Structure 1
Amino acid sequence: MPHLYLKSNFFQSVTANKLILILSCYFVVVFNLTFLLKTYNAVLLLDKYNLLFLLSVPILLLNILLIFFSVFSVKYLLKPALIVFTFISALMTYATFSYGIVFDYGMIENTVKTSSSEAFTYLNVNAFLIVAALSVLPIMYLYKVKLTFSPLKTELTQRLKLLSLSTLSFFIIAFFFYGDYASVGRNNRTLTSYITPLKSVVSGYKFIRNNYFNEPATFTVLDNSPILLTDNEAGKRVILMVVGETARAESFSLNGYDKPTNQFTRVHHPISFKNMSSCGTATAVSVPCMFSALGRSDYQKQVANNQQNLLDIVKLANVDVLWLDNNEGCKGACNRVTTINMDKSKIHNLCDGDYCFDEVLLSPLKNKLSHLTHQTTLIVLHLIGSHGPTYYRRYPENFPKFLPDCQRSDIQNCTQEQIVNTYDNTIAYSDYVLSKMIEELSLLEEKNNIDTAMLYVSDHGESLGENGLYLHGFPYAFAPTQQTHIPMLFWSNNQNKTDQNCLNNLADNTFTHDNVFHSILGLMKVKSKTYKPNFDIFHQCNTRDLLVNNTTDEQ
């Protein structure tokens, strides 16, 4: 009976070297198909290319994987390690094929900091079927196959032979095609990010090293005596800083988009800064970065986490600071100020047990505005905004929608029109919430003659299928503009005509998250050693508050 023979032969005993070879071939053909296709596409675009070089790419990759898996070829470690790598690689392959995600350091950090409720939004029938199709057979084989080991000396000799042959083959290919690999690599620096699972292993090692094995850093005080440059006779002031989530500038009608995504705030005439760029392409980087004095070029998480940030400095200057969060936390930015996280476990018209619509922030905002205890108050509101892939869960069912929309998490299986409509609905709903916040500030000014202003800025943008990319988190140096070009809106209840015209003239200038730190200090009228007037967007237009600028310039 042939089928019985094949079954017994398939699960026959194999040596460690043979098992490593079998799995490495599977990894090359299946889990690294994206890497191979992208490499071939890059090469075929050249006017001239070497066919032998193209043929060498999978062989070189095979040798790299053979060397990598050989590290785990210990008797009781090899099979469990290969099973784990197979399952993880299947998940990564699904994410890469479906959303264009690459698992570099930033994505590993983003993944670790993702909450369980957020992680579950990526789970769907399509994901389950694809991951199962990629991983079940090799995992079953690894589980069933009998692995044989020779005496230690013989086993070491066999492993040395495998490593020697793989290393020799690697260097032969590198010797003959070094120029080709160097040229393609220089012009396509993201290619290595698609090598599965090597890139994620290296990135994971760096993340663990940086976060769990570094020496505890000493907390650095950047300014131990910031001063609030107002007196009691000046009256109270309230600044709202609204941190958006996953909003991209090109989807704002205030920036020229052809759909009315800003119909609610438009009536309040906010100033839209049309050329604003983010610090990162993921929340875990952008949020702490925008509150840090470091700036994007110098930003390092360990340094930023262990020194004063914007909120620390204004709090020390006797500003009342409150952080209201409807997202997945402030990523360390609010660790030393009063924080209220929305209770998403409650089920009512604004919360479903996993998420809350951003309107849930309005109640605690109203409560705070009716109980102001300090002369100057800064309230930071962190929106869930347009967080994907479940865009349809970011706005109420009865909210006016652009249709047809995409009522599923595997957005790559919706049409482009559906994906864009669903995303645009999230922008429109965020705009509605912002308009309600502006109305609360206007009411506060009318009743109590309190000076108010609001600054809205998103953490990063989003890809909606452009060039086959979805979501965000792409390495910044190669990220599409959809992930880095973000919206920023400013509204004030006391902006005089001179200031308004000045800011409108600046609206087309180029700004980044680096400007946020210093612009908020300027708005709050906080004198600090950390303040840089050249980075304060409002500095040259602030005709009524020259005191803060002049005194700070002298430092």
Structure 2
Amino acid sequence: MMPRGVRALRWARTWRPAVSVDMLALLAAAFFSLACNLAFWRSYAEAAGGIGSSVTMTVSLFLAIFGVNVLLMSVLLGRRTAKVVLTGLLFVTAFAVYYMHVYGVYLDPDMVRNVIHTDSKESRELLTPGLVPWLLGYAVLPSVLLWRLRLRPKPWRKGLLHRGALAMGGLVLTVAALAVGFQPIAALMRNHRDLRHLITPGNYIVSVARVVQDVVKESPTRRLVGADARSRPRGARKPRLLVIVVGETVRAQNWGLNGYARNTTPQLARRGVINFSDVSACGSSTEVSLPCMFSDIGRANYDRDTIRRSDSLLHVLDRAGIATAWLDNQAGCKGVCAGLPFTSLADAKDPQLCNAERCLDQILVDRLPATLRTGVDQVIVLHQLGNHGPRYFARYPSRFRAFTPTCDTGQLGDCTRQQIVNSYDNAILYTDHVLATLVDRLERDLTRDSAMIYVSDHGESLGEGNIYLHGMPYPIAPPTQLRVPMTVWLSPGLARSRGLDVQCLRARASKAVSHDNLFSSVLGLLDIQTAARDTSLDLFGRCSAPQGRPSGA
């Protein structure tokens, strides 16, 4: 008699059931609805006060999700392409489910843009061992089963008719389910609109479609900003140098100068900097915040498309005769420096500061002198790697491992929250050192009147509310992702030539400000005359003498 194991193996080899494309669509819709919406149901339970708080609403939502998935599958799956398309959906969904469930990610259009523009180094850091079981369970095993199936052929007219009927059935089921639970569902979605970005796979399919639509309709022409920009004549005074340091993923509450229990900024505290302690970010991701903070539109009138096709602060400065340059240790300037000098240091070769994966941020300060020009006014942007997660431990050299024990892996689920915070704070401690080193170099350069503005692009969640990293939709993003540090250093020569009252600035530094202030404040600091400058947003304007004359003159 044949051994049982051999019989099972032979059966597995010969198991090839035949199903119609319609049945495959139903099976796929059931799988996605039942197995791939853990993050949605978790957030739904928190918002609704429990899964069982309203049986009618819960059942209605599930049936509506199933109906939507039936509709999607009936549209996407054709007999000749069904297996290939569905395999792709399974693998993308496996990634989506993992990052939504483990890190609290919402797959809205902004997050999809982040994913699309993520470079290979960032991608590798997010591919942690914890992803493997999710890929096996949600993609590999279902795909193996899928490719064992045989799809029954149908005459094309009959197949088209059946799929049309299936799509109509999914639509009717969705409408009927929503109608039954309309009042509680409407109230839930009105108060928690971003829950829809957790319904998988519809969330990323719709978001990708919206991103593609935006790209297609994007205008190739740029909106001219500051056409009248000019720099006020300064006579024989020294050339000015402003270094804008764009921090990455540093949140305000862990910034030592803001009163954090740990002194994560000891070196800056000794440099006489002006610290703005109540600063709001324009977005919760680099993809949103970076273009926004350098625009004249800002968060108050936020319009992504308009910002993307408009001149940035750097273009206005360039038009006014200020030489600009962008040094990057991150993933680019997101259009802010389009057409202007740009240097990426992400792949620089420096045995002291770089490894095969990344360079430490000190590389930005070390390469700054090569960007300086003699006898001209300059604005140079240093775009840091900063505290980019989840590998916080890799953002600083070992001598800055002051807070222990640390989380020495990108798999944050393997660490305690305190270990994660310790690594994150060590990375801030290193940023403090980099900024202090920059200030010292600017202070030693007696040939220029210099200044530094440091501001982070957005904050970070470190496990509060079971949320990690950043990029949540702005309306529901927690303060940890939207509150950022901002620190200014001014050389005595620049403060004097611009007529700035430093004590006045210190006194006003506790007032609420935001990324919206950066555009006009830089123009004000450099005394650039243009109608694009909003004096109400100029942080230096209320503390400077009229016409840029020294205070008391």
TM-score when scaled to structure 1?
0.93
Q: Deviations over 1:492-528 (max 9, x none)?
A: 1224798232112212211111110000001111111
Compare 122-131 and 451-460 and name the one that shifted more: 122-131
Matches within 5 A, 1:206-355: 206-211=210-215, 213-214=216-217, 216-342=219-345, 344=347, 346=349, 348-355=351-358
Taking the aligned partners of 1:96 and 1:183, their CA distance within structure 2 comes to 24
Kept in 1, the 8 Å contact 2:500–2:540? The answer is: no
Q: Among residues 25, 31, 38, which one is paired with 2:30 in the alignment?
A: 25
Distance 1:52 1:468, change over 3 A: same
Distance 1:414 1:145, change over 3 A: same
1:268 match: secondary structure: coil
Letter in 1 for 2:472: F
Matches within 5 A, 1:154-553: 154-211=158-215, 213-214=216-217, 216-342=219-345, 344=347, 346=349, 348-369=351-372, 371-374=373-376, 376-445=377-446, 448=447, 450-494=448-492, 495=495, 499-543=501-545, 546=548
Distance 1:231 1:523, change over 3 A: same
Taking the aligned partners of 1:354 and 1:76, their CA distance within structure 2 comes to 41
Q: Deviations over 1:451-471 (max 9, x none)?
A: 221111111111111101111
Please report how far the alpha carbon of residue 215 of structure 1 lies from its aligned counterpart in structure 2 after TM superposition.
5.5
Q: Deviations over 1:313-370 (max 9, x none)?
A: 111211121211111111111122222221525251101122110111122223445x
Taking the aligned partners of 2:285 and 2:24, their CA distance within structure 1 comes to 38
Distance 1:168 1:318, change over 3 A: closer
Q: Among residues 47, 59, 65, which one is paired with 1:61 in the alignment?
A: 65
Q: Among residues 35, 41, 48, which one is paired with 1:43 in the alignment?
A: 48
1:336 match: secondary structure: coil
Letter in 2 for 1:318: G
State the partner residue of 1:552: none
Please report how far the alpha carbon of residue 546 of structure 1 lies from its aligned counterpart in structure 2 after TM superposition.
4.0
Please report how far the alpha carbon of residue 214 of structure 1 lies from its aligned counterpart in structure 2 after TM superposition.
1.8
Structure 2 unmatched ranges of 5 or more? none
Q: Deviations over 1:281-336 (max 9, x none)?
A: 11111111111111124333443333322111111211121211111111111122
Kept in 2, the 8 Å contact 1:278–1:512? The answer is: yes
Q: Deviations over 1:89-142 (max 9, x none)?
A: 000011111111111111011111111111100112221232222211111111
Letter in 1 for 2:264: T
Compare 64-73 and 392-401 and name the one that shifted more: 392-401
Taking the aligned partners of 1:52 and 1:312, their CA distance within structure 2 comes to 56
Please report how far the alpha carbon of residue 4 of structure 1 lies from its aligned counterpart in structure 2 after TM superposition.
6.8
Taking the aligned partners of 2:65 and 2:308, their CA distance within structure 1 comes to 38
Kept in 2, the 8 Å contact 1:40–1:54? The answer is: no
Matches within 5 A, 1:122-161: 122-161=126-165
Kept in 2, the 8 Å contact 1:438–1:454? The answer is: yes
Distance 1:377 1:299, change over 3 A: same
Letter in 2 for 1:484: L
Please report how far the alpha carbon of residue 186 of structure 1 lies from its aligned counterpart in structure 2 after TM superposition.
1.3
1:233 match: secondary structure: coil
Kept in 2, the 8 Å contact 1:36–1:58? The answer is: no
Taking the aligned partners of 2:153 and 2:38, their CA distance within structure 1 comes to 32
Q: Among residues 6, 13, 20, which one is paired with 1:15 in the alignment?
A: 20
State the partner residue of 2:119: 115
Please report how far the alpha carbon of residue 400 of structure 1 lies from its aligned counterpart in structure 2 after TM superposition.
4.0
Taking the aligned partners of 1:325 and 1:119, their CA distance within structure 2 comes to 18
Distance 1:184 1:216, change over 3 A: closer
Compare 145-154 and 78-87 and name the one that shifted more: 145-154
Taking the aligned partners of 2:218 and 2:99, their CA distance within structure 1 comes to 34
Letter in 2 for 1:433: V
Please report how far the alpha carbon of residue 395 of structure 1 lies from its aligned counterpart in structure 2 after TM superposition.
0.6
Distance 1:56 1:3, change over 3 A: farther
